[in-house]
Structure 1
Amino acid sequence: MQSSRPKPSPREKAAQRANFLTALCFLAPAVLLVTVFLLVPLIYNVWISFTGWAKFSGIDRFVGVANYSQAFSNPKFFEAAGNTVSWIVASLVLPIGLGLGFALLLRGIRGAEAFKTVFFVPRLLAPTAIGTIWYYVFADNGTLNAMLSGVGLGDWTRSWLYDPLMITPAMIIAHTWQTTGLVMVLLLLGLAALPTEPLEAAQVEGATPFQIFRHIVLPMLLPTLLVVTIISVIAGFTTFDLVWVMGRDYPNRSTLTLAVHQYWETFRSNRWAYGASVAVLIGLIALLITWVQTLLQQKLEDRAK
């Protein structure tokens, strides 16, 4: 059976070609930039991770998975991986917990916009600036020790950034201060999009605020929470600037994350091919996280239907 759809006229074909060329012209700059500055370096980085590439001296030999074997046999790699896991957990628990709490408290109250601005301001600062600010808070002669001495708690002062039990929590506090505002704003947007009918019906039935939150608000807020979770995990996983500013001087680099470990091995130790392999591993983990997020989001959407 022949289709009853009429064939386009020559004028329509010319218009379609013109529209395609116009769209291609608009897309070309973005495609060129992505290709030159993202795809080509990405492919080249993967390639040199299988070689013995040295600093700007070319590829001298193909070594297979030797660089990856070095990574998995390097104690510093696993130490950095453990620190990264700590960062990921802290990025989930603290910013999301505080952001959700602030979002619920600020929802619908007078003067909420002013509080939102105050909480969101740290997000506007560069991570290096955040690290510098908090470095001087936790420095030996910094703000925290001065405050403790000023209120008669001089015995509590310490070298926070060189204490093995305090350096990582200190950096996590700085990271939480920077990211909580963004999480709060995203969750406020999610709360504002919730339908009011179920909430009003629950109030009429005499449900307590906690019951309303647990059985109505939280289930409907899960898609937004999932997005916020992935953003927080990626932020904790790829944090570099703040960790570098606050923790690079710690002995034996035992507080550094995978991103900082990759930078150190590449640019400080001149192990360029090894650093490329660590970068590939970081990228694979990020892709895995994104894939898991996609599956969870799809399941939530299917459950909501």
Structure 2
Amino acid sequence: MTPRPTGADVAASPRGAAGAADRPDRSAAPARPSGGGRRRSSSRLSARTRTRLEIAFFTGPALVLLGLFIVVPVLQAVRYSVFDWNGLGPLDDFVGLDNYARALGDTVFTGAVVNNFVIIALSIAIQLPLGLAIALLLNRDIRGRGFLRVVIFMPYVLAEVVAGVVWVLLLQPNGLVDAVVEGVGLGGLTQLWLGDPDIALGTVMVVLTWKYLGLAVILFLAGLQGVPEDVYEAAQLDGASWWQVQRRVTIPLLGPTIRTWGFLSMIGSLQLFDMVWILTGGGPANSTVTMAIYLINQGTERGLYGYASAVAVLLFVISLVLAVLYQTFVLRRDNEVAPKPRRAAR
């Protein structure tokens, strides 16, 4: 029989010594934390500071330019708008809100506001379905679609001055448009396309549609590239027709692109000046005048810079209100974030 080892023998053995070394000494005082936590906090603070400096470095120049070229001019326009000022000399003839009351009571200005809203409505009503139809057609695998895309987009990249002068030449009496109308046997339909107050705005809308339709088509085509192919395949497997696929799949998925284009079209229509100015100058009989044209007429042509500043402020306020309303009720769905799932109760 092997004798049982005593405590002294176990302690003297190598295994016993190792076990004794592995066991913690309960009588020893707990070790104090070193300065590593303080160093980590300092490094986090420096990283946070570096991030703030990077943000300030990249956004600072943009904010300076924004202030110089947007905020300061707007504030200056507000200041000038409460004076009767001709652009020269000191601002000493304070009139308060009289310039605003005068603008709101002028039938030419209110007619310009109506024209701007008519242009907004017609631009969306005409260019949206037409642009969608052309984009859906050019998105298919057809021969020459690259060339057709260039042809559709070419008017948009043309300078407004060039496009406007070309259309003035085409639409003048006995111009190319009248020659084509007479050539197809419809000579009785020739009109003073830009000289008749009853049809001048409609003629301007045709030119504007030709000029800016390419932007809508290109944006819609870009949106179509983001629609997954498996969505179309799943719809076809379910037996959906081509029209059903476009109506229930493609157009809903193009919603963000369509809403963004609508915002750009609305703001561009409110600020419309150059094309209408070249085509008609706001005439005949103020039938095509816009707010921007009215502003230029009052400021540069009549020298009423204080009154023109009030008109500019009104244009800015109208644009801002419409932009906020559009952002709140139309673009809001594109900015909504899906709610985070709640944690299960323990």
- TM-score normalised to structure 2 length: 0.79
Secondary structure in 2 aligned to 1:55? coil
Q: CA deviation at 1:249?
A: 6.7
Larger radius of gyration: 2
Secondary structure in 2 aligned to 1:171? helix
Going from structure 1 to structure 2, the CA distance change for 1:115 and 1:304 (only over 3 Å counts) comes to farther
* Cα pair 1:53 1:59 within 8 Å, conserved: yes
Task: Specify the alignment match of 2:241 in structure 1.
Answer: 208
Which structure 2 residues correspond to residues 25-104 of structure 1 after superposition, within 5 A?
A: 27-104=59-136
Going from structure 1 to structure 2, the CA distance change for 1:54 and 1:19 (only over 3 Å counts) comes to same
Identify the match of residue 293 of structure 1 among 321, 326, 338.
326
Task: Specify the alignment match of 1:231 in structure 2.
Answer: 264
Q: CA deviation at 1:38?
A: 2.2
Correspondence 1:7 to 2:38 = no
Going from structure 1 to structure 2, the CA distance change for 1:151 and 1:86 (only over 3 Å counts) comes to same
Secondary structure in 2 aligned to 1:7? helix
Correspondence 1:276 to 2:309 = yes
Q: Per-residue CA shift, 1:162-200, capped at 9, x if unaligned?
A: 112221111111111111111001011111112333322
* Cα pair 1:137 1:144 within 8 Å, conserved: yes
Q: CA deviation at 1:30?
A: 3.6
Secondary structure in 2 aligned to 1:253? coil
Correspondence 1:105 to 2:124 = no
Q: CA deviation at 1:34?
A: 2.7
**Structure 2 unaligned regions, length at least 5:** 1-36, 340-346
Q: CA deviation at 1:19?
A: 7.4
Task: Specify the alignment match of 1:244 in structure 2.
Answer: 277
Aligned counterparts of 1:298 and 1:39: Cα–Cα separation in 2: 26
Letter in 1 for 2:273: F
* Cα pair 1:262 1:275 within 8 Å, conserved: yes
Amino-acid identity (%): 31
Identify the match of residue 219 of structure 1 among 252, 260, 271.
252
Q: CA deviation at 1:304?
A: 7.6
Q: CA deviation at 1:303?
A: 9.0
Bigger proportion of residues as helix: 1
Q: CA deviation at 1:136?
A: 1.1
Give the count of matched residue pairs. Answer: 300
Q: CA deviation at 1:146?
A: 1.9
Letter in 2 for 1:290: A
Q: Which is further off, 208-217 or 152-161? A: 152-161
Q: CA deviation at 1:242?
A: 0.5
Aligned counterparts of 1:105 and 1:280: Cα–Cα separation in 2: 43
Give the root-mean-square deviation of aligned CA atoms: 2.5
**Structure 1 unaligned regions, length at least 5:** none
Q: Per-residue CA shift, 1:236-274, capped at 9, x if unaligned?
A: 221100000111173432321111111111111222111
Secondary structure in 2 aligned to 1:64? coil
